[in-house]
Amino acid sequence: MRILLVEDDALIGSGLQQGLQGEGFAVDWAQDGNAAALALRTTSYGLVLLDLGLPKQDGLTLLTRLRERDDDTSVIIVTARDAVPDRVAGLDCGLLRQRTGGR
């Protein structure tokens, strides 16, 4: 499976990439939201591991745009944000298609 890792912290990103590759996954690593958006437009992924606090385009915006174009790629949000409003916002962005009449 090809995974897109979207993480701006070099230490965390490097560790996750190495660990996932060690388990046999193909991993592309984007370090900002714009790079991730480009990767998602040009490559098919089985999973996106998405940080929220990204430079150039935040993770929730990226997820919203992904769902707006009916891309149903699985996304796991990996973030230090743990407040209830942050969790609800992440779920809402991931479910955007249901609210707007998508598949």
Residue type, 86: D
Write down the H helix ranges in 43-79. 59-68
Q: What is the rounded CA–CA span in Å between residue 62 and residue 78?
A: 14
Q: Which two tokens stand for residue 76?
A: 């796991």
CATH 3.50.50.60 correct for 8-79: no
Q: What is the dihedral of CA 41, 13, 52, 36, to 10 degrees?
A: -10
Does residue 95 carry a pLDDT above 90?
no
What's this model's pTM, rounded to 2 decimal places?
0.82
More confident residue, 84 or 38: 38
Does residue 89 carry a pLDDT above 80?
no
Domain parsing of the chain, residue ranges: 8-79
Selection from 23, 27, 65 nearest residue 49 by Cα: 27
pLDDT (tens digit, 9 = 90+) per residue, 30-81?
A: 999 999 999 999 999 999 999 988 999 999 999 999 989 989 899 988 876 6
Of 31-35, 60-64, 84-88, 94-98, the one with minimum mean pLDDT is 94-98
